[in-house]
Structure 1
Amino acid sequence: MPPRTAIFLAATALACASLAIAQPATAVRIASLDTMSGPMAGLGLNILKSFQYSARLANEQSWAGAVRFEIVPFDNRLSAQEALSLLQSIIGQNIRYVVQGASSSAVGLALQEAIEKHNGRNPGKEIIYLNYAAQAPQMTNARCSYWHFRTDANSDMKVAALASYLVGQKEVQRVFLLNPNYAYGQEVSRAARSMLATKRPDLKIVGDDFHPLGLVKDFSPYIAKIKQSGADAVITADFGADLALIVRTAREAGLTAVFYTLNGNNFGVPSAMGAAGQGRVKLVSAFSPNSPPLVGDPLLPGFRRQFNEDFINGQGHNALLMLAQAIREAGSVEPAAVAARMSGMRFQGVNGPVEMRSSDHQAQQPIHVLSWEPVDGKTVVHDQEGTGLGWKPVAMVPAQAAALDTRCQMKRPP
């Protein structure tokens, strides 16, 4: 062995040993980079509290051994430009982990690209992006990144699960598509048209409308158009304050169509629909609060006791479970070592086993179809927002059936 190589290997071994010795005092700071002001503030602040709660549980229960987690909030104001500006501050503070999702896939895509460029230019100072809710399919397809890990299902997976469910719902004959006008909403519209044509060719799409994200104050023209179309079902990727306003407007207008949502459990939406949404609002989600093992778990009631709000961030909780396991198994808090462990990892999530697929870093897990129904202590144990109603499991698409092929050509570090 050449002398220089031997010296390098010895130095590397010494550095690793030093890290292992120093690790008990390590604190891992995680930037929560989401919307915490403006029209989506309620959702963003609820998510922030859930990350802080999950981090506290991780610390108390030593998920990552002696390593401790700290959540550092950053308000991106629902703006990709603001998120990129804050990313520079995050880099300057030497924060190496970022969670984001509730402030849209437009922010997520910009963040993903910026982190990819930063990591390519700064080896040894990499940042990992943990995406718990930004669902745009291209994030794990054509625009995938080795440093991006999505614990939620992407919107194509959710629409595929919904299309499979609708095969057995022959009473649904006329569907209206209503979505926010940016990458995520456009992808949901495209996927719905394609997948419904394949699995329900008898079903007619009677409308396909888009609206600006977070800017519409009156959705009555959109609801009037849905009523005029004769739709008996609406498929929407809307979330947060927009979805709450849509559901409230539909209720006031007497629209009887069933809403199939990808984000119906978002903060504020259950209160907006109340009893009027019973049996008429469905949720397609990777998180099912009334499915085992969560029914008897203290996670949801503990959060409600502390914050007087509902825990809806199951995929964010999964992100911390995955991160903690990777740190523990890698024996390191360095993103390069942690990313290598998370790629292809299998771990136990809130609703059961999850695989972080190595080819595209898209979590593989079951997709649930849930219906807004009264609490009965059996099928619906946890209500939401004090309404006396919660999400009843009505169907479940197994992980293998929910999996979709990927077009990801991931550039991996040497």
Structure 2
Amino acid sequence: MAYQLRPFAKAISASVSLSIAALLAPAAHAENVKIAFIDALSGTFAPTGQTALKNFQMVTEVANKEKWAGPANTIEMVGFDGKGSPQESLTQLKIAIDQGYHYITQGGGSGVALALVDAINKHNERNPGKEIVYLDFAALDPDLTNSKCSFWHFRFEPNSDMRMEALTSYLAKDPSIKKIYIIGQNYALGHQVSRAAKEYLKRKRPDIQIVGDDLHPIATVKDFSPYVAKIKASGADAVITGNWGNDLALLIKAAKDADLKANFYTYTAYTTGVPTAMGAAGVDRIKNVSNWNINNEVFAGKDMAEAVKKKYNEDYWLMSSHSAITMLAKAIKDTGSTDPVKVAFAMEGMTIKSYNGNVEMRKSDHQAQQPIYITNWVKTNGKDVKFDQENTGFGWKTEQKIDTFVASQPTSCQMKRPTR
């Protein structure tokens, strides 16, 4: 006769088995994933860097509250002052590495970005098991996802060529534009904007004259009136500039003071300080090309904007902070790991929903593919322009939302990947 356990004995046996299984199973390990925000927190570009850090910190606060990275993990954003300098940023990178960071973010300046990518490539090759992943929120030089592409670098904003493709497609439809003046900062991005503007306009509107093409020292010029005088004398209908931060604010201010009538087509006129510099004088004269507008078709992102306003009394304008943290958190949750190699592989080819729609991290070059907005600076009206900037009473009206495929660019990236 076979021996059978009585019900009570069965319960005891099952309880013991579960206890043993619990002891043998790996315990859920909660991790706080710290990201080093290496950007200008002092100096000329500090206002932009400080607001960008606050934007990121609010996104991570929401991410932790809503458990984007899973029930156990949290994400923390910590500022490191790179001062907008490649040398200072490399010093901060070393400090972050020494403190055990495996993730960094930066976006203020492509010169800094190129230096960081090179240093991270070398560090990761020499230090397996201690890899660093770089979340690029706004360094726009196309080379970063072409000739200088890296497995460890992920860019969440459209690069300058993608922006120019969208911008020139929009410009080409305006027959009133006959003469364009190009002005930019004399570094990697300024050169790329100048090249692309001339190349794409020649393809789409060969009748448009380029009546000026100036490059000025970055973060050095305090008075842009001589440049504005040249623009005025050229008879330009429009100005294209990749300037950002204080260099853009001062350029816009000089144009306003000189009563320059030409329209400005910009990449970052929504960043800290520029809206105040524009004021009423910029109405219907300042256009911008970017990956988001808070006054979008459904006001996607308004909750984040209101949270930033309430906590910091500042604007939320860095949508790439939402895309970056959303994608990083999803990769951590999907892999069940915070290991940078596993997370990086998981982010390749990933598509997430952000405030502008679907954002895909293209596997071939780690360049985010996404819709682009052309916007116009106007007075708020409580309808399609509900949100202003910097309490000016003026905000951005969507002129056109451009589908992802329109601005998408081919890549020359030949990516070297680590072994899994």
Aligned-residue offset at 1:131: 0.3
| Residue 365 of structure 1 pairs with residue 370 of structure 2 | yes
Counterpart secondary structure, 1:120: helix
**Partner Cα distance (1:55, 1:367) in 2:** 24
Matched, 1:216 2:226: no
CA gap of 1:256–1:125, structure 2 versus 1, over 3 A, is same
Do residues 157 (structure 1) and 162 (structure 2) align? Answer: yes
Q: Give the one of 141, 147, 153 matched to 1:142.
A: 147
Is the partner of 1:32 in helix, strand or coil? strand
- 1:71 corresponds to: 77
Within a 5 Å distance, the mapping from 1:12-23 to structure 2 comes to: 21=26, 23=28
Is 1:82 the equivalent of 2:88?
A: yes
Mark the structure with the bigger radius of gyration: 2
- 1:87-137 deviations in Å (ceiling 9; x for gaps): 1111101100001002x0000010011111111111111100000100000
Matches within 5 A, 1:85-96: 85-96=91-102
Amino acid at match of 1:288: N
Q: Distance in 2 between matches of 1:118 and 1:312?
A: 32
The answer on whether the counterparts of 2:58 and 2:307 sit within 8 Å (CA) in structure 1 is no
Secondary structure at 1:282's aligned position in 2? strand
Instruction: Report the 3-state secondary structure (helix = DSSP H, G, I; strand = E; otherwise coil) of the residue aligned with 2:390.
Output: coil
**How many angstroms apart in 2 are the aligned matches of 1:114 and 1:346?**
28
TM-score under structure 2 length normalisation? 0.92
Residue number in structure 1 paired with 2:257: 252
Name the counterpart of 1:240: 245
Q: Distance in 2 between matches of 1:127 and 1:298?
A: 31
Cα distance change, pair 143–302 in 1 and its aligned pair in 2 (3 A): same
Does 1:173 find its partner at 2:169?
Answer: no
Distance 2:262 2:322 in 1: 33
Equivalents in 2 of 1:389, 1:83: separation in Å? 35
Q: Residue 406 in 1 paired to residue 404 in 2?
A: no
Match of 1:43 in 2: 48
Q: Which residue of 1 aligns with 2:268?
A: 263
Q: For residue 314 of structure 2, what is the amino acid of its counterpart?
A: E
Shift of 1:367: 1.0
Q: Which residue of 2 aligns with 1:5?
A: none
SS of equivalent to 2:381: coil
Query: Which amino acid in structure 1 is aligned with residue 140 of structure 2?
Result: Q
Aligned residue in 2 for 1:58: 63
> Which stretch shifts more, 266-275 or 65-74?
65-74
1:24 is displaced (CA, Å) by 4.2
Asked whether the equivalents of residues 310 and 384 of structure 1 are also in contact (C-alpha less than 8 Å), the reply is yes
What does residue 14 of structure 1 align with? none
Matched-pair identity in %: 49
- CA displacement 1:330-365 (0-9 Å, x = unmatched): 110000000000001011112111100000000000
Report the counterpart of residue 193 of structure 1 in structure 2. 198
Identify which range, 294-303 or 256-265, moves more after superposition: 294-303
What residue identity is the alignment partner of 2:224?
A: F
Say which SS state the counterpart of residue 206 (structure 1) adopts.
Answer: strand
Equivalent residue letter for 1:72:
V
Distance in 1 separating the partners of 2:27 and 2:411 = 40
Q: 1:22 to 1:138 in 2, by over 3 A?
A: farther
- Answering whether residue 142 of structure 2 is matched by residue 98 of structure 1, we say no
**Per-residue deviation, 1:292:** 3.9
Residue 383 of structure 1, CA deviation: 0.7
Q: What residue is the counterpart of 1:291 in the other structure?
A: 296
**Alpha carbons 1:23, 1:332 under 8 Å: kept:** no
The code of the aligned residue for 2:336 comes to G
CA distance in 1, matches of 2:270, 2:29: 38
Secondary structure at 2:223's aligned position in 1?
A: coil
> Unaligned 5+ residue runs, structure 1?
1-16
> Hey, what's the Cα distance between the residues in 2 that align with 1:384 and 1:79?
28
Question: Within 2, Cα distance between the matches of 1:194 and 1:21?
Answer: 57
| Other-structure match for 2:330 | 325
CA distance in 2, matches of 1:325, 1:193: 40
Deviations 1:248-271 (A, max 9, x none): 110000101000000110100000
- Deviation of 1:228 (Å): 0.6
Amino acid at match of 2:87: Q
Distance 1:150 1:232, change over 3 A: same
Query: C-alpha separation between the residues in 1 aligned to 2:280 and 2:104?
Result: 37
CA contact (8 A) 1:148 1:361 kept: yes
CA-to-partner distance for each residue in 1:20-78, whole Å, 9 max, x for gaps? 94554210000000000011111111111111111101111101112101111100111
CA distance in 2, matches of 1:233, 1:176: 6
With over 3 angstroms needed to count, the CA separation of the structure-2 counterparts of 1:21 and 1:244, relative to structure 1, is: farther
User: Quick one: which amino acid aligns to residue 148 of structure 2?
Assistant: R
Relative distance call for 1:296 and 1:192 in structure 2 (3 A) is closer
Root-mean-square deviation (Å): 1.4
